[in-house]
Amino acid sequence: MARSVAWPRLGRKFQQALRYVHRLHRGQYRKRTRIPYIGHLLVVAGLVLEYGGDEDLAIAALLHDAVEDQGGRKTLAQIRRRFGGRVASIVGECSDRLTVRKSPWRVRKETYLTHLRTASEGALLVSLADKVHNASTIVKDLHRVGDRVWSRFGGGKAGTLWYYRRLVDTFRQTTAPADLVGELARRVSQMHRLAR
């Protein structure tokens, strides 16, 4: 007899999050492309739902870049008021900075890798879904435009490859879903093969 699965209910709160994230990221595109940024956020939310995330986690996935890209702590406070403490906490955990001003790239990435080791399960799922989609996009773009893709990233080719290799190692040491970690590892292996 097949086991029944309880799927999360996506209600008014999720609809409000869709409108809010559209307003926040309207006019924003993926790095040096004409792909609307909201497409990435929708894919990440979809992956979170596929891997058992509930409505709050799906909302956090939609908003995971809002603090970094759209206003820092002020935006995080708005998210807390609109969507609650759990969503805001996960979004905060998924941000590599809470201020508008950026630290140097390598410092941000090393700090984020250290943070992942103690992140909540919800934040791990959202972060991992984000990294899987980012890695998939890099692989596609390596096929399409070759090494020009590396100019999009603050770490360049060497730094980006280092960061994604370290992400795989770090996620393997956490409670993140092993099959999704495996998907990230496959994408990162493809990145390394294509980068040679």
- 82 HSE (CA, 13 A, CB side): 20
User: CA-CA distance, 49 to 161, in Å (whole number)?
Assistant: 28
User: CA-CA distance, 42 to 118, in Å (whole number)?
Assistant: 26
Instruction: Record the tokens describing residue 76, joined without a space.
Output: 């995080």
Instruction: Record the tokens describing residue 72, joined without a space.
Output: 């820092």
**Active-site option among 50, 55, 56, 69:** 69
Q: Which amino acid, 69?
A: D
How far CA 64 is from CA of 8, 71, 89, in Å, comes to 19, 13, 10
**Active-site option among 56, 65, 68, 130:** 68
Is 68 in the active site?
yes
Helix, strand, coil tally for the chain in percent (to 5): 70, 0, 30
* Beta partners for residue 36, in sequence order: 29
DSSP 153: S
Instruction: Return the active site residues.
Output: 68-69
